[in-house]
Structure 1
Amino acid sequence: MTNKMLFFDQVQKFTEAYLSRRRRIRRIKREKQKKKNPLLDWVEAFLWAAGVVLLINQYLLQAYQIPSGSMIDTLLIGDRIFVNKILYGPELLPGLGKLPSPIKPKRNDIIIFENPSYISRGPAFDIAQRIIYMLTLSFVDIDRDEAGEPKAHFLIKRAVGVAGDRFIMDKGEFRIRFAGEDRWVTEREYAVGRNFNYHISRLMEPSDYPALAAAGKLTAYNNLGLPSPEHLIAAATAARDWSYPDYLYHEQCRLELLRAAHPEDERYRLALARYIQGWYIPEGRIFPLGDNRDNSRDGRYFNPVRLSKVLGKGSVIYWPLRRIGLIR
């Protein structure tokens, strides 16, 4: 017998042995499957699906429901979206370190990040909540407050400021001085100049601000234990209504009067400095703002966010059907 015939004979034997072994393994699996309890089979399938969902949610896509009107008109209350988790580097585990990524959040990105005021119940609860949330495409959320409302574990805003920028706010409108420049520009000017196509929504009119300033000063008189001047009462009550959404301007006017009354009090000076000097965005942080400026708790309240806390980028609205599309 030639070497060639020996070779083919060995190949045939190996192939037959391999195929016989594979058939035997399949037969054993089928027998085990017949003997398996249907309930146990269902549990195994569910656990497998949950594991796959967790991996997708943790490292690729996260389902998220918009809970408030802070991003109107870009995102509406009740919109359900997918967040790209891999772009900026996903977390290793919920609440723990992130994998590195060469891509960093940039200006105008719609970013999702941990709510600085959120108090976690622990990694185990976070994992369970995310599995259920993702399995139901964000329709079931077990993380709720005492009133039964979903807790704001994550926030989604527009990245408006990046490292080196400086911001000041003038009656709800932002002015920006970019890194290395000495000129202040309005946010609307730079958005148009850089072809950032997003709409800044406002609930207040310019004509509302004198009444809001008077209301802030009235609060300061109350803090000082002094009687309120009649002209301030008249100015405050002349407003369209008393629902002043621009709380920061109200607070600025209150602090200005308190600072004037007590110039020696460092507390008032330091508190007022943020409104006068604005915000500076240091290296490694980003400044998030809601597009609906008078109805958004964002960087103006909790300051710039660490890049390490940015978990992903809003990518697609998948529900309701009439809203399906890319997020810009």
Structure 2
Amino acid sequence: MNEEKKKNETWEWTKALLIAFGLAAIIRVFLFTPIVVDGESMMPTLENGDRMIVNKIGYTVGKPDRFDIVVFHAPEQKDYIKRVIGLPGDTVEYRNDILYVNGKQLPEPYLEQYKAEVVDSPLTEDFTLEQKIQSTTVPEGHVFVLGDNRRKSKDSRHIGAVAIDEIIGNTSIVFWPIKDFGFVK
């Protein structure tokens, strides 16, 4: 009797562990996944080595919003983290370090700190979409993304508009290092 009770208890623990591992795998594959920021392209918003949670389900039911921080598959078989600036059908232009979308000036509060530190020249060089992606508007099914560290970011100015299908998800939670724990905008 005691032997059978031990076997039953072992089987129950085994089932519980298998279910836990299965749920963890499902959550990681379909819902949320961790990512490590690699490089300086999103500074000062994100630092090299920050660990974040990527929400994979947000764009399966919705679309990216302007200024979302997104993770996507880049052409170099690498995942990039950038900020959505232009949505499908938008015109995007920078003049005198100011963002214009569809002819309207838009504030970029996430760049204020960095712009205050940069005194020798503009943070973002003047450009139009036509100069960067040979189109006057962001193509349907695509977004135009930029890194917050405009001087050191490989983004849509270099790789072109990003297909929405290539976006893994959005991210706004830093969980490591602990001193940076919290939401970013």
For the aligned pair, the TM-score class normalised by the smaller chain equals: 0.7 to 0.9
81, 84, 100: which is aligned to 1:176?
100
1:117 Cα shift? Answer: 2.0
CA contact (8 A) 2:69 2:171 kept: yes
Describe the shift of the 1:61–1:296 C-alpha distance in structure 2 as closer, same or farther (beyond 3 A).
same
CA contact (8 A) 2:133 2:161 kept: no
131, 144, 165: which is aligned to 1:287?
144
1:197 Cα shift? Answer: 3.1
Describe the shift of the 1:275–1:285 C-alpha distance in structure 2 as closer, same or farther (beyond 3 A).
closer
CA contact (8 A) 1:111 1:312 kept: yes
2:82 is aligned to 157
Describe the shift of the 1:72–1:176 C-alpha distance in structure 2 as closer, same or farther (beyond 3 A).
same
Q: Secondary structure at the match of 1:54?
A: helix
CA distance in structure 2 between the aligned counterparts of 1:276 and 1:117, rounded to whole angstroms: 18
Greater per-residue helix proportion: 1
1:110 Cα shift? Answer: 0.7
CA distance in structure 2 between the aligned counterparts of 1:276 and 1:287, rounded to whole angstroms: 9
> How many residue pairs get matched?
176
Greater per-residue strand proportion: 2
Q: Secondary structure at the match of 1:314?
A: strand
CA distance in structure 2 between the aligned counterparts of 1:81 and 1:190, rounded to whole angstroms: 27
Instruction: Note the residue ranges of structure 1 that are not aligned, 5 or more in a row.
Output: 1-23, 90-100, 119-152, 208-244, 253-272
Spell out structure 1 runs of 4+ moving beyond 6 A: none
CA distance in structure 2 between the aligned counterparts of 1:115 and 1:321, rounded to whole angstroms: 28
Matched, 1:74 2:45: yes
Describe the shift of the 1:308–1:276 C-alpha distance in structure 2 as closer, same or farther (beyond 3 A).
closer
1:176 Cα shift? Answer: 2.8
Instruction: Note the residue ranges of structure 2 that are not aligned, 5 or more in a row.
Output: none
CA contact (8 A) 2:86 2:138 kept: yes
CA distance in structure 2 between the aligned counterparts of 1:75 and 1:52, rounded to whole angstroms: 30
CA contact (8 A) 1:168 1:276 kept: no
TM-score (norm 1): 0.46
Q: Secondary structure at the match of 1:199?
A: helix
CA contact (8 A) 2:133 2:160 kept: no
CA distance in structure 2 between the aligned counterparts of 1:112 and 1:63, rounded to whole angstroms: 11
TM-score (norm 2): 0.77
